[in-house]
């Protein structure tokens, strides 16, 4: 199922009218940084520098960059395991992210979380969660806490099109609407839940977001290849959260160029190479944004190359940083389990917490 | 000292902590307007209002996960499971999110929640409502587990659990809710990880947690009255952290240990303790460490039979007589 591209131009939306040329170039830079970071990571994965899974976000960059660009001090974000894009968009640096993939002590989670579990609470980024839809109750909790504290904020909780068939999410939709919680559930619909296409995994009439209708909740769909549209639609949902404390389900159509993870060997079996190429040619969010900015006179081909080179350079340096960083010590396996133990509080020193000896 | 029920002791602890800390919020099914399915939270909604005492839909995965998420932003949710048996539908939230979020974030996050509710058999509600998952949850590094046996312990442990900065699984018992114990009016806390000698003795250590402690105390009376055996009863109170020293101290004194729990035997809490005694008290033991657990079957419904499934004082007496 290819995205039905709407003809509407979202550049006149107030949230986009307010953008300066620098803002627009910054979005380009952020999207390119995500892409070049992940391409560098993929290369390192293929030569055995990291273990486990690597779920690449390439093709979807406009979604995280567009949504995160709207966040204020009391807005929070949480996502699933395809989390590199959101992490870099909130301002985590490539070094800590690459080092985490390498399992190094300098990684954002000290090598304890890996690709699927990036966190940056200081940047209002709450992960990075490995279980499909497992983050959706946590996102609800962020919204609950925002409201409990009387703050004007929103919790942006991302989930994939595969997550919409997990029961916990429906429990969340009910509570979010029932209690007027300021959560925005953003379905990043990249058309495939692992190796199963949308039409083979989900029953729907016109969209997945429509399921919110049954919970008396506002919902919308969005063409994710257009950064202006992402910003306009996410802003609308955030306004609803900020001003009315009401939740939204927003389904953003997008596409991933790589498999579910790098270990997904069949991703050119369950979909055609033609389909992938078509997206790269006609729907690539970076390519479209580049064309748009050149058309607006904000960007030149030379400036684009300059930004792209810087992103590639930064990614290459992050690989070197990760390479040069030490592995965590064996003793660190037993750290960061209990707050009270880590801090050596009285509670942490009372009773036996660990049972190897 | 006034006598109050186990249920009232819990309620007092919750009320005191709600008053003390504006971030403490009670959440759960029927905890507010209905006054609690087992009346633990009776009167709290009227007293503290909608913000602090919140009725949830029957959606354990969502509201437990919601509490975990809210705790990451500094709230201290105390969430009631109407039965700990219902934890199975929230397992991902309890284990992966509450248990592991600190580790996976390299220590950037902590999760100061309490999940509380009854975890016991013996009430003829069948296997689905009679789970005792203290062993399963104590198996998760990152979670803490407590099982108070008396009103006094329930109150003091609940207050510590709420103030603790890690996730605490608090397992109560419906058969104890109406039982009374002496509880002081003035404030007190009982730290997690400290066992209690409920009865001093010199001949055998009876080591138990939860309601099995009371069964052990009855057995100790029988042993003293009928067999001239002085049993010491150790109440673990807290499973993780565990007061290993208290166990070893008692066994080094009595040289015999019988471990009692209402859970099933396979990989039960007492399997852990038995292993520890083998390793650390081998030379102090004059007899094999013995265990008494629930009969290894799903909890039976039949009111005539269920009492036989759980450890009884006479079971303990027989076991003790086989080694004393």
Is residue B12 annotated as part of the catalytic site, yes or no? no
For residues A233 and A312, membership in a common domain is answered with: yes
Inside any domain, residue A4: no
Q: Based on the domain organization, do A76 and A34 belong to the same domain?
A: yes
Domain co-membership, A120 together with A261:
yes
Residues of chain A with confidence (pLDDT) below 50: 1
The mean per-residue pLDDT over the stretch B166-170 comes to 98
Nearest by CB: B166 against A110, A137, A340: A340
- In the block, tokens 């039960």 appear at B268
Say if the Cβ atoms of B106 and A107 lie within 8 Å: yes
Q: Are residues A104 and A173 in the same domain?
A: yes
A303 & A314 share domain: yes
pLDDT at A6: 53
Alpha carbon dihedral B113, B118, B119, B120, in 10-degree steps, equals 170
Q: How many CB atoms lie within 10 A of CB A306?
A: 12
Determine whether the interchain pair A78/B69 forms a contact, defined as Cβ–Cβ distance below 8 Å: yes
CA distance A168 to A150: 26
Instruction: Tell me if residue A164 falls in helix, strand or coil.
Output: helix
Is 0.95 exceeded by the ipTM?
A: yes
Domains B3-182 and B196-321 share a fold: yes
| DSSP 3-state percent helix, strand, coil across chain B (nearest 5) | 40, 20, 40
User: Residue A265's pLDDT is what?
Assistant: 83
Q: Is B42 a catalytic residue?
A: no
Which of these CATH numbers, 3.40.50.1110, 3.90.920.20, 3.40.50.920, 3.40.50.2020, describes B196-321? 3.40.50.920
Q: Measure the CA–CA gap between B163 and B170, rounded to whole angstroms.
A: 13
pLDDT tens profile B174-201: 999 999 999 999 999 999 999 999 999 9
Provide the residue range defining the domain that includes A335.
327-357
Distance of CA A339 to the CA centre of its chain: 27
Domains of chain B: which residue ranges? 3-182, 196-321
- Both A138 and A243 in one domain: the answer is yes
Strands B76-80 and B231-235: unpaired
Percent of chain B with pLDDT over 70: 100
User: Is position A2 within any domain?
Assistant: no
Dihedral sign computed on CA atoms, order B271, B276, B277, B282: positive
Q: A-B interface: how many C-beta pairs under 8 angstroms?
A: 187
On chain B, the residues whose CB falls within 8 A of the CB of A345 are 165
pLDDT digits (tens, 9 = 90+) for A51-86: 999 999 999 999 999 999 999 999 999 999 999 999
Entry field: residues in chain A: 357
> Tens digit of pLDDT for each residue in B101-152?
999 999 999 999 999 999 999 999 999 999 999 999 999 999 999 999 999 9
Sort B37 into a burial class: Cβ within 10 Å, 0-12 / 13-18 / 19+.
middle
Q: What is the DSSP letter of A327?
A: P
B105 contacts on A by Cβ (under 8 Å): 109, 112-113, 117, 119, 121, 127-128, 336
The CATH number given to B3-182 is 3.40.50.970
Task: Write out chain A residues lying below 8 Å of B145, CB-based.
Answer: none
Any domain includes A272? yes
Query: Does the residue A1 lie in any domain?
Result: no
d(CA B293, CA B299): 12
Phi, psi for residue B77 in degrees, rounded to 5 = -70, 135
DSSP of A281-311: HH--HHHHHHHHHHHTTS--HHHHHHHHHHH
Per-residue confidence (pLDDT) for residue A8, from 0 to 100: 92
């Amino acid at each position: 199922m290819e995205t039905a591209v709407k003809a509407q131009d979202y550049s006149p939306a107030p949230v986009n009218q307010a953008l300066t040329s620098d803002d627009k170039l910054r979005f380009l830079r952020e999207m390119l940084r995500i892409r070049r970071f992940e391409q560098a990571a993929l290369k390192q994965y293929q030569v055995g520098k990291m273990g486990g899974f690597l779920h690449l976000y390439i093709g979807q960059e406009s979604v995280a960059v567009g949504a995160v660009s709207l966040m204020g001090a009391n807005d929070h974000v949480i996502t699933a395991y395809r989390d590199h894009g959101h992490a870099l968009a909130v301002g985590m640096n490539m070094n800590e992210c690459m080092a985490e993939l390498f399992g190094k002590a300098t990684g954002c989670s000290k090598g304890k979380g890996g690709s699927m579990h990036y966190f940056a609470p200081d940047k209002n980024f709450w992960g990075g969660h490995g279980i499909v839809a497992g983050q959706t109750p946590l996102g609800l909790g962020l919204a609950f806490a925002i409201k409990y504290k009387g703050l004007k904020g929103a919790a942006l909780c991302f989930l994939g099109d595969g997550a919409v068939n997990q029961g916990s999410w429906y429990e969340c939709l009910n509570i979010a609407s029932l209690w007027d919680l300021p959560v925005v559930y953003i379905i990043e619909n990249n058309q495939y839940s692992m190796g199963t296409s949308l039409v083979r995994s989900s029953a729907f009439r016109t969209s997945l977001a429509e399921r919110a209708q049954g919970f008396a909740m506002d919902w919308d769909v969005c063409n994710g290849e257009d950064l202006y549209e992402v910003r306009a639609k996410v802003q609308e949902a955030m306004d609803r959260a900020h001003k009315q404390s009401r939740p939204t389900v927003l389904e953003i159509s997008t596409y991933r160029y790589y498999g579910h993870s790098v270990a997904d060997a069949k991703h050119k079996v369950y979909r055609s190479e033609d389909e992938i190429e078509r997206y790269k040619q006609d729907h690539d969010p970076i390519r479209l944004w580049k064309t748009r900015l050149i058309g607006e006179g904000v960007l030149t081909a030379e400036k684009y190359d300059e930004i792209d080179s810087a992103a590639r350079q930064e990614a290459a340096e992050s690989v070197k940083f990760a390479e040069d960083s030490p592995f965590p010590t064996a003793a660190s396996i037993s750290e960061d389990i209990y707050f009270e133990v880590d801090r050596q509080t009285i509670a942490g020193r009372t009773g036996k917490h660990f049972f190897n000896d | 000292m006034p006598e109050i029920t186990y249920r009232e002791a819990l309620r007092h602890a919750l009320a005191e902590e709600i008053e003390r800390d504006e971030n403490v919020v009670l959440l759960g099914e029927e905890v507010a307007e209905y006054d609690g399915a087992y009346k633990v939270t009776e009167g709290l909604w009227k007293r503290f209002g909608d913000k602090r005492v919140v009725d949830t839909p029957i959606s354990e995965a969502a509201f437990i996960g919601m509490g975990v998420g809210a705790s990451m932003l500094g709230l201290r949710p105390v969430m009631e499971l109407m039965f700990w048996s219902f934890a199975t539908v929230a397992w991902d939230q309890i284990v992966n999110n509450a248990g592991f979020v600190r580790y996976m974030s390299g220590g950037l996050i902590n999760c100061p929640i309490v999940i509380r509710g009854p975890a016991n058999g013996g009430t003829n509600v069948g296997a689905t409502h009679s789970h005792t998952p203290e062993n399963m949850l104590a198996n998760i590094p990152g979670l803490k587990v407590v099982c108070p046996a008396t009103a006094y312990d329930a109150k003091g442990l609940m207050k510590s659990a709420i103030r603790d900065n890690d996730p605490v699984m608090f397992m109560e018992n419906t058969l104890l809710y109406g039982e009374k114990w002496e509880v002081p009016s003035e404030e007190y806390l009982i730290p997690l990880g400290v066992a209690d000698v409920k009865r001093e003795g010199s001949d055998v250590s009876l080591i138990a947690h939860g309601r099995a402690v009371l069964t052990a105390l009855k057995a100790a009376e029988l042993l003293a009255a009928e067999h001239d055996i002085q049993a010491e009863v150790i109440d673990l109170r807290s499973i993780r952290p565990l007061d290993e020293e208290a166990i070893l101290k008692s066994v080094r004194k009595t040289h015999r240990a019988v471990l009692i729990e209402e859970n099933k035997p396979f990989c039960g809490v007492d399997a852990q303790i038995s292993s520890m005694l083998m390793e650390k008290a081998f030379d102090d033991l004059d007899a094999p460490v013995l265990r008494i657990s629930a009969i290894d079957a799903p909890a039976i419904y039949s009111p005539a039979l269920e009492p036989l499934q759980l450890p009884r004082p006479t079971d303990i007496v027989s076991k003790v007589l086989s080694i004393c």
